[in-house]
Structure 1
Amino acid sequence: MHAFDVLGDPVRRRILELLAEGEATAGAVGEVVRAEFGISQPAVSQHLKVLRDSGFTTVRPLGPRRLYAVDPAPLREVDAWLDQFRRFWTPHLAALATELARGRRQRRLAAEGTSNEEDEES
């Protein structure tokens, strides 16, 4: 299965988000996903299997439980593929960052001007 086929599913993306916070049991992941998506435990298990089989997660047994974790290798491959397209959005994001900084500076200066005026009036 291609990486974007795996990542195209919102349930699998959510599972990866949960696992990005750290290793978790299948049960803990299942509780969150079932609550958020209203799917059954077997459906969650199937998504975990797809993630494991496609290399996005690792699993290790710990007694009767299975602990899942993100395997970063496929994500690095996705990142490398996306790299050829970054030139389309990087300049726009840099311009946005500049405008946001300019707006913060203007608000700060305006607030300082207001507080200085209040100090002078006192």
Structure 2
Amino acid sequence: MTDEHGAVEVDDVLAAMADPTRRRLLDVLSAQGEASATTLAERLPVSRQAIVKHLGVLEAAGLVCGRRVGREVRYTVRPAALTATAQWMTALATDWDRRLARIKRLAEAAERDSR
């Protein structure tokens, strides 16, 4: 669940992305398009059980989704949560740039006034 600004989603995405194994899983899934936990475990130096746990965190954050195909679950990347997080980060950076520009203008004005 998210608030009007997507804060919970952003928090979940940032928490999920904090782990390098999960970032690597996203990289592999992005490149491969779709993969099972078994296939991912073959590509990473992590057990299948650990991969399943990491995929659970990524799925809870909305970064991947799994669909059953026969006896296995195949995972794909869901970019919407990552896009929302990137938009939040861009807005945050823009706000800080605006604040810093104002501080710079105030400092320059104070310097001119002190001459």
TM score, norm. by length of structure 2: 0.66
1:33 aligns with 2:44: yes
Structure 2 SS opposite 1:13: helix
**2:25 matched to which residue of 1?**
15
- The answer to which structure has the higher helix fraction is 1
Q: 1:34-70, CA deviations, whole angstroms, 9 ceiling, x for partnerless residues? A: 2xxxx32211110011111221101001101111000
1:79 aligns with 2:86: yes
- In the alignment, the residues of structure 1 paired with residue 44 and residue 88 of structure 2 have an alpha-carbon distance, to the nearest angstrom, of 28
Q: Which runs of 4+ in 1 moved over 6 A?
A: none
- Unaligned ranges ≥5, structure 1: 89-122
Question: 1:82 Cα shift?
Answer: 1.7
Q: Percent identity?
A: 32
- Unaligned ranges ≥5, structure 2: 1-10, 98-115
| Superposed counterparts of 1:1-122, under 5 Å | 2-21=12-31, 22-34=33-45, 39-84=46-91, 85=93
Structure 2 SS opposite 1:55: coil
Greater relative contact order structure (CA < 8 Å, 6+ sep) = 2
- What amino acid is the match of 2:77? V
Question: 1:4 Cα shift?
Answer: 0.8
Equivalent pairs counted in the alignment come to 84
Question: 1:73 Cα shift?
Answer: 1.0
- In the alignment, the residues of structure 1 paired with residue 35 and residue 48 of structure 2 have an alpha-carbon distance, to the nearest angstrom, of 15
- In the alignment, the residues of structure 2 paired with residue 27 and residue 43 of structure 1 have an alpha-carbon distance, to the nearest angstrom, of 11
The two structures, once aligned, show a CA RMSD in angstroms of: 1.7
